[in-house]
Amino acid sequence: MDIDQDTELSVRNALFEQVRRHTGIAMNERKWTMLKGRLRRRIMTLGLPDYGDYLRVLDHSTDEVRDFIDLVTTNETSFFRTPRIWQYLASEFLPRWAAKRTGEPLRVWSAAASSGEEAWTTAMLCEEFRLLHPSLRYAIVGTDISDGILANARAGTYVGRNMESLRLQRPELVQRYFRSDAAAISVNEALRAHVSFRRHNLYDVPRDLGQFDLVLLRNVLIYFDLEGQKAVLANVRRAMRPGAVLIVGESESLSRVAAGFAFEQPLIYRNEEREHEHPA
C-alpha cells in the first residue's frame, strides 16, 4: 500500500471528507496515521490494492459505509465517568425535577452512547432515586452512529476494566442491577425495562426522538469543528424541553457557541427555550 506523496495527500483529503460526510467529525493531518491504521486491516480483508480502491467501494456500498463508520468513530466510556456529574444528578437534578414534574415521566437522552455504560449508569441512578421516591417514572434513550457499538450497548454485557472498576467502587449496585454467569456480567431487567438504544447521527434533526428533560452529550463536541458544534447543538436543542439540562464533557464548553443554553455550573447548561419558541 505504498503510495507517492501527492497521491497520499489526495487520498488523505478524500478520506477525511468521507469521515466528515458520514459522521460530521472533522479530522486533520494529525489524525491521518490513526485513520490509515484503522482502515488498513479492512482494506486487506476486502482484498483491495490501496486506499483509492477503498474510496471507490465507499461510493457504491451502503453496507461498507456502515463498517467505515464503525472503524472511524472513537468509542471510549465507563460507568460513572466524571463522578461530580453523577453527584449533581443524584443530589440536585433528580430532586428538583421530581418536585416540579410530579406525575410526569422523566426522559433522558444519552447522545453518542457508545457501548452503553453512560445510559446504564443513568438508569442505576434513577433506580436508586426511585427506592426513596417510588412514584418516579423514567425512560432513557441511548443513541450512536455506529451499529456495531449499539449492538454492544443493547447486550448490556460487560467484562474487563470497566466492570471491575464498578465492582470495586459500587459493589452494591453490581449486586442489585447486574446478573452474572460464567462468562460475563449483564444488566438485569430492572434496568432494561427503562433503557432503549437506536441509531442516530447528531448531524441529523432528531425528528422522532421526542422531547427530553436531560441530555448527556459528553466528550463528543471535541470531535467537531466550530460549525459542526453549532449544528449538533442546534439539533440537540430541538429535542430538549424548555429548562431541560444539557451535560457536556470535561474538556468541553459552550462559551464559543452561543446556542440558547444558559450556564448553570461547569459542564452543566440549561436550555433557555421558552414555551412555543422554536430554535432556528
Domain with CATH 3.40.50.150 in the chain: 83-271
Which CATH code of 3.60.90.10, 1.20.58.1180, 1.10.357.10, 1.10.155.10 fits the domain covering 5-72?
A: 1.10.155.10
| Tens-digit pLDDT string for the chain (280 aa) | 555 677 778 888 888 888 888 787 777 787 788 888 888 888 888 888 888 888 888 888 888 888 888 777 766 678 999 999 999 999 999 999 998 877 789 999 999 899 999 999 999 999 999 999 999 999 999 999 988 889 999 999 998 888 888 999 999 999 999 998 767 799 999 999 999 999 999 989 998 999 999 999 998 888 888 888 999 999 999 999 999 999 998 888 888 886 799 999 999 999 986 544 544 4
Question: Where does the chain hold its CATH 1.10.155.10 domain(s)?
Answer: 5-72
Alpha-carbon span 75 to 91, nearest angstrom: 29
Q: Helix, strand or coil for residue 79?
A: coil
Does residue 56 sit in helix, strand or coil? Answer: helix
- pTM: predicted TM-score of the whole model, two decimal places: 0.80
Hey, which bits of 121-211 come out as E strands?
138-144, 157-158, 178-180, 185-187, 195-199
Burial of 241 (0-12, 13-18, 19+ CB in 10 A): middle
Q: Which residue has the cell 479530522?
A: 27
Amino acid sitting at position 208: D
270 in Cβ contact with 259 (< 8 Å):
no
- Residue range 83-271, CATH number: 3.40.50.150
